[in-house]
Structure 1
Amino acid sequence: MDAVQPTLVTRLNAEWEWLCADSGNSDRVRSWMLDAGVLDEDQPPAELGELCTLLRKRSERDGPEFSDAWMGVLLHRVSAGDGRDAELAARVLVQAMLPLACRVLRDCVRSGESSEDVAQVVIASLWEVVRTYPIARRSRKVASGLRMELWHRVSRELKRELAPSEHLDEAWVAALPGGVEPADAVAPVLLARAAEEAGLRAAVGAVEELAGVRGEMVALLVWALEREVLTAEAASGICDHYREGAPQDVAAASAWGVSPVALRRRRSRAVSRLRQVAPQWVEAA
């Protein structure tokens, strides 16, 4: 990516400083967190930036459950669509996720392309994810769900918006399968990140595995994990079985600590659940 920060990111950071200077914004966000019991009365600082720093540090200390709690509070405000409150809640979430968006941006910029063009796609996707996240239906694993929704949306939008480049930078060359057009390779790279986030890292393996039918299957499994259709164990079992060079059931069952019969039954139940929800995944894609 360009050494200089994209203009859109710079503007977001400048706008954030302006929002933090308005004590009324901090008062509103503090009241939401206090009313929801996310923070105690003696904890929230008066300034919005400091409040968000506190939420981030508590998330690092207390883990994903705390992240889910405060992000969920903001998403409920966004979904309520209550004018200024909804806009402020969305803006706080966008700023909280901006470091992730910048990492996605760095991974997606190719040699010969301007980071400004990619930034437009990534930041627009970030706003869309925040504004449309179905918090009423998906109130668990909110932080993870937001991250994966961002990866999915960026992957789709970049594939539509950006034409292939003739030359790639070293980072892309190292990451992409040989002989694949860059535009087609955006989805596998981001899918690999989403799969790792979902807990499928060991089953997925190299990026080149995520093309064609294999990639579609992994995308379906990631989607199913986001919506808690499958457990991580069931998804990993399917992902590891339906691939080239997969271990025989006897060896796989031994690794899982179950009998081959139990393994096949478990896999059959998981596949049956996937068949039932696959039409929803197709519609969402």
Structure 2
Amino acid sequence: MNTAHHPDTNVVDHLNAEWRWLCDRPTPATQIRGWLIDAGVLDQDAPHRLDELHELLQQRSKEQGRHFSDAWLTALLERAVGEGEQAQLAARVVLQAMLPGAVRMTRRCLRDGEAFADVAQLVIASLYQVVRRFPITRRRQQLARNLRLELWHLVSRELGREFAPSGEELPGEHGPVADEVSDPVAQAGVVLLASAAHTAGLHSADEPVEELTGARGELIELLVWALAQKVLTTDAATSIADHYRATGAISDEAAARAAGVSTAAIRQKRSRAVIRLRTAAPMWAAAA
């Protein structure tokens, strides 16, 4: 797989275009279909198009859970860790299945002043490395979860080396979040979001990271993205983040006194920011 960066091309868009190209060709689908039938994952009624196979695998993984997911991932990862064109094809299908999660991780990794395309390039390259090097002979259970966790470990090291000041740890990396979030994959996502939100001024170091889950977490993730895409200014994003809190929300009166303006001006400012955010939200959702 070629992950070379083109200044005018987002690597995620490039991968999706490449995927559509693959899906229009019969040979990749025939190979993937044959591997999955030979492994007992699918039967002869399986679709003959790659995109339809991919959709079926995703749907049955949701319906049947980890055991089915482990079965088809094992069938492809056993080939993905090899050499040659077949290994690259198997890895490419696994990568496509994990691409939405990689996009979410990219958004949560963004810090002020960083371009989505640059961070996405790092995350996708790390994902491809994880898939191609995964120790499938030793680890055959909870594969999707372990792939995401391996990706988190690799990306966190790369971010610390390339995007953070020398010697700086990601906020919360060794904090109490492990006691609050039992799933290390979920923990990794919360830590990444806390890092991006802290850098963007939307989450202070003394706020519990577990607050960045559920609806609050989705809002902060959207605001971090909006700042990176220059949809909102820092003041506008902060006004939304401070107002829509489950606990400890800053009242309009207090915000007005702090800014030296009227309460009506604070509300009007936030209303304009919310309108801009709602207008741009479909672009954020489309990347998920």
Which residue number corresponds to residue 66 of structure 1? Answer: 68
> C-alpha distance in 2, partners of 1:192/1:121?
29
Which residue number corresponds to residue 95 of structure 2? Answer: 94
Which residue number corresponds to residue 196 of structure 1? Answer: 183
TM-score normalised by L of structure 2: 0.57
Q: What fraction of aligned residue pairs are identical, expressed as a percent?
A: 48
SS of residue paired to 2:114: coil
SS of residue paired to 2:183: helix
SS of residue paired to 2:138: coil
Aligned residue type for 1:109? L
- Aligned residue pairs total 186
1:35 Cα deviation from its structure 2 partner:
0.2
Match of 2:10 among 4, 7, 11: 7
More helix by share: 1
> C-alpha distance in 2, partners of 1:80/1:16?
21
Q: How big is the alpha-carbon RMSD for the aligned residues of Structure 1 and Structure 2?
A: 3.4
TM-score normalised by L of structure 1: 0.58
- Say whether the 8 Å CA contact 1:155–1:187 is kept in structure 2: no
Q: Which runs of 5+ in 1 are unaligned?
A: 165-179, 209-285
SS of residue paired to 1:149: helix
- Say whether the 8 Å CA contact 1:158–1:186 is kept in structure 2: no
- 2:21 matched to 1:18? yes
Match of 1:35 among 34, 38, 61: 38
> C-alpha distance in 2, partners of 1:189/1:10?
37
What does the per-residue CA deviation read over 1:107-148, in whole Å, with 9 as the maximum and x for residues that have no partner? 110122111221111011101100000000111221111111
Q: Structure 1's 136 and 21: CA in aligned 2 closer, same or farther, altered over 3 A?
A: same
SS of residue paired to 2:81: helix
1:195 Cα deviation from its structure 2 partner:
5.1
> C-alpha distance in 2, partners of 1:193/1:135?
30
- Say whether the 8 Å CA contact 2:160–2:168 is kept in structure 1: no
SS of residue paired to 2:36: helix
Aligned residue type for 1:58? R
Q: Structure 1's 9 and 53: CA in aligned 2 closer, same or farther, altered over 3 A?
A: same
What does the per-residue CA deviation read over 1:229-264, in whole Å, with 9 as the maximum and x for residues that have no partner? xxxxxxxxxxxxxxxxxxxxxxxxxxxxxxxxxxxx
What does the per-residue CA deviation read over 1:14-55, in whole Å, with 9 as the maximum and x for residues that have no partner? 00001111111000000000000001212x111101100000
